[in-house]
Amino acid sequence: MHSKLILFVIIFLVSGFFYLHTVNPFEITISLYKDYTYTFPVTVIIFAGFIIGIVLMVFNSFIVDIKRAVMDFKAGRKVKARDNFERKFRKGSLALAKGDAKGAVKVLEDAYLSDAEDPELRKELVMKLARACSAEDKFVRATEVLENMMRKTGDDIELLFVLVDVSISSGEVARQERYLREIIRLDGSNVRALSTLIEIMVMDGNFKEAVNLQRTIVSNLPKPRKGGKQSVIDDENNRLVGLLFDASTVALDAGDQPLAVTYSEQALSIDKGFIPAHFMLGDIDIKNGKLDEAVRRWEKAYSSTKSPFFLMRIEDIHLGRTKPDEALAIYTAALKDAPGSVELRLLLARLHLRLEMIDLAIDDLEALAMEGHESFYRRVLLSEAYQRRNQTDKATELLQSAIALDSDLTPPFTCSKCGFSRSEWFGRCPDCASWNSCSVSSSSPKDAGHISLALGAPGGGFRASRGALGAGTPQKRGIA
């Protein structure tokens, strides 16, 4: 049908040409140059122009078709390349997710070298390739592909975080710090970058900068809505308090008492109940011979926190100054405010034993039992009292009944570094991460709350180490 239509058009044009040529026999003479002239019939000129126009139109259509074919070919190649790229990307991602880092590197490297153009997908590919290379300890290659991508895309926080992860895996702390500082330059309130940099500063012992970085985190936290939760703010403030106390400890170890006092007071301005800072300030007073100032400070701390540790420290000061009446008076006053406190009554019985007031100690401890306040620690103290009365059988019986509280007879295990306690052996302390620090404790795990109240020798007192008071290691106190 198409061919017949073309034939009809050709016949129509030829017929039209002869008809017009017959009706219009006129001729036109064209002079191209002197002595060079050409004479053409009008119809020939008209039809020549028409034919030339048709030829040009067909030629243009042909060129357009060629260009379209080339573009379609290129587009097809791009689609094919993209499909191939995506297939390899998915395959490599799956291998990485399954833990096959070696297989992931091989497939993702192949995809990385392809010419598929998709900025977002290529960025994802680069990050996965870097992680796979890092898992295979190919840290140089991981850093190379990430930095090459950074040159193309400019500063990118996601890529910088992957560079941080690679630096952590390779143990390059200086490079890790550089990338973190770059992230903070781009986003000064980025909590993840700030927190990670704080860890580095703590490891380096640079608590001053660690504190400043944590202050930045706290200052950028959004204020909670009315009635909303404040747990995030509390957590970050607790981290700041811990870092301030670590900074105070470092300053004191370096002999800079004024700076230690400043950091401790800053910690207490955030958390008035932070016991380690109260103890540090009191210990500094004692070191400087200001015993009365230490007593006043800890009395004030006890009134606000109700922590018996302060009474025990004050007790030691009074006994050290041979003032037993004042030591007894602090517990008498405390029991007036809290007459039902079993812990205070145990501490008073403990003081009676330290002062060799055996009958009063036994009366105190037997009264607790009569009231139904039974505990491992009460029996230990009572056993000690009978032992000092030379009633060995009674003392032995009490100790055996105390041990019977732990039916499996398993002794508790305690970390010699931080005092962490539980009823089963551990190779590495879950609290302070110290290796090979597990030892057998003489206290009951069921009465762990009273471990720090151990009696000790008749003349001995309570000594709160920094670990026992929660100072711990920088990793524990400074970084949550």
Q: What is the DSSP string of 212-262?
A: HHHHHHHHHSPPPPTT---HHHHHHHHHHHHHHHHHHHHHHHTT-HHHHHH
Question: Which pLDDT score is estimated for 134?
Answer: 93
User: Is the pLDDT confidence value at 372 over 90?
Assistant: no
In a domain, 325, yes or no: no
User: Is the pLDDT confidence value at 100 over 80?
Assistant: yes
Cα dihedral 143, 146, 152, 153 sign: negative
User: Is the pLDDT confidence value at 56 over 90?
Assistant: no
Of the CA atoms within 13 Å of residue 462, those in its CB half-sphere come to: 24
Question: Which pLDDT score is estimated for 440?
Answer: 46
Between 135 and 21, name the one with better pLDDT: 135
The boundaries of the domain holding residue 68 are 2-85
Q: Is 117 exposed, middle or buried (CB count within 10 Å of its CB: 0-12, 13-18, 19+)?
A: exposed
- Helix, strand, coil abundance in the chain, percent, nearest 5: 70, 5, 25
Question: Which pLDDT score is estimated for 474?
Answer: 35
* Calpha distance 3→9 (Å, rounded): 10
Question: Are 462 and 421 contacting, i.e. CB atoms less than 8 angstroms apart?
Answer: no
In a domain, 51, yes or no: yes
Question: Which pLDDT score is estimated for 276?
Answer: 85
How sure is the predictor about 403, in pLDDT bands with cuts at 50, 70 and 90?
Answer: low
Q: Amino acid identity, residue 51? A: I
In a domain, 103, yes or no: no
Between 71 and 416, name the one with better pLDDT: 71
In a domain, 28, yes or no: yes
Between the alpha carbon of residue 259 and those of residues 105, 204, 212, the distances in Å are 52, 19, 15
- Average confidence score pLDDT of the chain: 79
User: Is the pLDDT confidence value at 109 over 60?
Assistant: yes
Question: Which pLDDT score is estimated for 159?
Answer: 94
Question: Which pLDDT score is estimated for 465?
Answer: 41
In a domain, 223, yes or no: no
* Calpha distance 384→396 (Å, rounded): 9
* Calpha distance 49→45 (Å, rounded): 6
* Calpha distance 51→45 (Å, rounded): 10
How sure is the predictor about 301, in pLDDT bands with cuts at 50, 70 and 90?
Answer: very high
Average pLDDT over residues 416-431: 70
How many domains does the chain divide into?
1
In a domain, 80, yes or no: yes
In a domain, 405, yes or no: no
How sure is the predictor about 374, in pLDDT bands with cuts at 50, 70 and 90?
Answer: confident
Of the CA atoms within 13 Å of residue 182, those in its CB half-sphere come to: 18
* Calpha distance 412→423 (Å, rounded): 5
Per-residue pLDDT tens over the stretch 217-273 = 999 888 766 555 567 778 888 889 889 988 998 999 999 999 999 999 999 999 898
Q: Which residues of 229-266 are buried (b: 16+ CB within 10 A; e: fewer)?
A: eeeeeeebbebbbbbbbbbbbbbbeeeeeebbbebbeb
Query: Between helices 157-170 and 173-186, what is the axis angle to 10°?
Result: 160
Question: Which pLDDT score is estimated for 450?
Answer: 38
**In the chain, % of residues over pLDDT 70:** 75
In a domain, 17, yes or no: yes
